[in-house]
Amino acid sequence: MDYIEFEFTLASATNSEILMALLAEMGFESFSEQEKSILGYIPENRFQKEVILPFLDDMVDRKQLQYHYKTVLSQNWNAIWESHYDPVIIEGKCMVRAPFHQSVPGMQYEIVIEPKMSFGTAHHETTNMMIRFLMKESLKGKRILDMGCGTGILAILASKMKALEVIAIDNDEWAFNNARDNMEKNKVHLVTVLQGEVQDIPGPSYDLIMANINRNVLIRDIPTYAKFLVPSGILLVSGFYEEDLQSLQLAAAPSGLHFVSSMVENKWTGAKFVK
């Protein structure tokens, strides 16, 4: 699959998170923040010029950004990422690295992610927060659901934390295939990767559900997540901004989900709920 690479130069760095959130809703799958610009990637078959370019041109007219774009062939993706992809160590316990990085001794968890066009390399604040949330939980012997799994990074961590079974679901074919490849790279055998939507969640129930998606999808699907949680089950969510937390709480309450805690990084927010 070929991708379109956009390079954005913003007039104000404070607008970067808003821009990435809006573009994600238009089909962009990943971003890389450079020193003076942002790179954004969207599958060529999702690139709606008639929608995306007028939106960006309006921002250009208002002197909010400049941009240019080009096609990136799928076989060039790893070469691109190797040029600006560093390993991530979270709380001194979990290392997320690419196959071309060396291991670091003493890590409790090591996750190898092939940096293809899938969201979830621990560089983004939302993935980082979800890992931090997950490492605080006891998963041994529990059944876990990872919705919008992307690279499969959270499902891999859950398996390494001795979960009994992990179901990982993503609606994107590229993410589905990438997640399956990453399961093999990490030698985890108790994770089932499925391509599908919320209606494809297999029963009967889960001890913990994690969903790192976006505000609108979370609000829509929280009632379904709640139905699949056991009593006292945990829901971990991210992919939204701090000002959206109240909307998530309002969506969760009617389904019997009690807000427990949240964390914020660069306005991105993660939250924990208990049924």
112-116, 124-128, 148-152: segment of lowest average pLDDT? 112-116
- Find, among 38, 2, 35, the residue nearest to 18 by Cα: 38
pLDDT at 116: 60
Share of the chain above pLDDT 70, in %: 91
Residue-wise pLDDT tens digits, 1-51: 788 999 999 887 656 777 887 888 888 877 777 777 888 888 888 899 999
Q: According to CATH, what is the number of the domain 3-81?
A: 3.30.70
Quickly list H helices, 83-192. Answer: 125-135, 153-160, 173-185
Res. 154 pLDDT band, cuts 50 70 90: very high
How is the chain split into domains, by residue range?
3-81, 85-274
Q: Going by CATH, does the domain composed of 85-274 fall within 3.40.50.150?
A: yes
Residue-wise pLDDT tens digits, 68-110: 999 987 666 656 656 656 788 999 999 998 888 888 988 999 9
Residue-wise pLDDT tens digits, 207-252: 999 999 888 899 999 999 999 999 999 999 998 889 999 999 999 9
Position of tokens 């316990």?
A: 93
Task: For residues 69 and 72, give the distance between their C-alpha atoms in angstroms, rounded to a whole number.
Answer: 9
Residue-wise pLDDT tens digits, 155-197: 999 999 999 999 999 988 878 888 999 999 999 989 999 999 9
Question: Does residue 114 have a pLDDT over 90?
Answer: no
Ranges of beta strands (E only) in the chain are 3-10, 30-33, 38-43, 65-72, 88-90, 94-97, 109-112, 143-147, 165-170, 191-195, 206-212, 229-241, 258-265, 268-274
pLDDT at 36: 78
